[in-house]
Amino acid sequence: MDPTSRDLHELRLGLYGTAADRERLLGEFRALLDAEAPGRWKLLTAEADDPVDDELTVADLYAELPVQWRAEHPAESPGERAVFELRAGVLATFPEARVLLDALTRAVCPDPEHPGPCPVPWSSSGVTPPLDPADRAYLAHHYASLRTP
């Protein structure tokens, strides 16, 4: 893979939050992607029971997030919180995709060194690069429209 050539990538962040958290973060992600990758991105959401691969669901992949929240809020009810994943397809070089992923994580947690827990527990499963035929097919299926002007 040529690191200077733009290709399709998917940036994934798992979160444990409310519907309001999701909408707020979607708005922040859209604004960030509009500024940093205009016309070269598409956002998708995945619910807890959506598959990640043949064996795992989104809830399985991010199973630690509800556990983390409960440990950090032992006296509180999780209420409407649920695991979900925000997926940003981008047409970018691999280094650009990494920078965008870092920026998206800062939208969730602006100060990684802050004391105490994040208001919305999160985890990044990283950048899905187009390395093998299965990844290429997946990325093309979901994000091929990013290749057309």
- Per-residue pLDDT tens over the stretch 33-46: 999 999 999 999 99
Q: Report yes or no: 140 and 8 within 8 Å, Cβ to Cβ.
A: yes
Structural domain includes residue 112? yes
pLDDT of residue 4: 73
Segment 49-74 mean pLDDT: 93
pLDDT of residue 3: 62
Neighbours of 120 (CB within 10 A): 18
Angle at which helix 94-108 crosses helix 19-36, to 10 degrees, equals 140
d(CA 7, CA 35): 19
pLDDT in tens, 109-141: 988 788 888 889 999 977 877 788 988 899 999
Give, for 16, the enclosing helix (H) or strand (E): strand 7-17
Domain total in the chain:
1
Structural domain includes residue 1? no
Give the largest CA-CA distance in the chain: 52
Q: Which domain holds residue 143?
A: 7-147
